[in-house]
Structure 1
Amino acid sequence: MLKIFQAVVLFFTVVTAAAQGNPKPPVFTPLSAESKAELDEFRRLVNRMVSKRNPGQMLSRAPKDFRVLQTLAEDPSIKHADRNTWIALGVAYGDALIAFVPGLSRSEVHDEYGPGVVLRYKRTTLTIAAPVMFAKRVERGETFDVPFMANELKKYVQENAGKIQ
């Protein structure tokens, strides 16, 4: 879980080395076996939560999961959950985003924020740190609308993908 925790990339990070005066561009690599195992562990945690509330139901890594994740996020028993729980929900959110926004895939990144697992748009530097999106909002005491966030991210990617290398 350490790599996921190290994904201290902001909610939505568009990393362009030239724009930030950073001489080193981010380095993207495929997911390691360790990262894949960590993601699967988080997925199992979320699926246990879903199954506990609705026996027999599981997430499908599809946009219909946004509603299920919203229901979980609003559940009083989860409101004060630990950071791992919120990161697990963010991992499931990322899975659904991959199906919702064509061109997104998981990648490891090493950039000025350190190493992390992100969603990367095609072969650009446009990244989304889905695992920490919910955790950061909960830490700040914010409420959020999961389907709305997904629609806004999709719109942002569609409007800006051509402007980012």
Structure 2
Amino acid sequence: MDQVIIAPDEEWITYIAKMWLLGSHISEEITGQKMDGSMQDLDRIQAIVASGQVQIENTQELQSFGIVFGKVFVNETQDYDWWVVEDDYGKDACVRYKETSLLIFPQTMLSKRIEDGEAVDVSELFYGLRAQLELIKNESYADA
């Protein structure tokens, strides 16, 4: 099956919202602050990761921070929005530049690194990703 990119339906919008709410709930428990979709959420995610209070085995909680990360990215980066990709492996939420094939998968961006034991600097990852995507966008998607 070729990769198909579709707009999120009500089920996917609900899924993304529930995952974001999970991340916000965890943040409130650990940091005393709810997520709000702002750049400060990156600091909240960093504080949660640094606290060690979320188990590496808890993939759903780790992936909720990826959704929070993605929400900040969409809020702070022009022309990106949530979409859904379907391929041979199933369906996944992604963030897409306009209606191009330039995609990122924030849900697993943090969880995979944390599960692999990597030290994660959330702000560095955010700004590095934005810079890298800007280069790709300018090279390959200038007409988009």
TM-score, structure 1 as length reference? 0.77
Alignment-mate amino acid for residue 19 of structure 2: F
Cα pair 2:80 2:98 within 8 Å, conserved? yes
Q: Are 2:14 and 1:37 equivalent residues in the alignment?
A: yes
Which residue number corresponds to residue 99 of structure 1? 75
Q: Tell me the matched-pair count.
A: 141
Structure 2 stretches of 5 or more lacking a match? Answer: none
Query: Which structure shows the higher helix fraction?
Result: 2
- Matched residue type, 2:40: K
Choose which of 61, 83, 108 in structure 2 pairs with 1:85: 61
Corresponding residue of 1:20: none
The higher relative CO (CA closer than 8 Å, separation ≥ 6) is in 1
Instruction: Give the residue type in structure 2 aligned to 1:91.
Output: I
Q: Is the 8 A contact 1:100 1:154 kept in 2?
A: no
Superposition pairs for residues 62-141 of structure 1, below 5 Å? 62-111=38-87, 113-141=89-117
Q: Are 2:25 and 1:48 aligned?
A: yes
Find the counterpart in structure 1 of residue 36 from structure 2.
Answer: 60
Per-residue Cα deviation, 1:108-136 (whole angstroms, up to 9, x for no partner): 11245542110001111011100011111
C-alpha RMSD of the superposition: 1.9
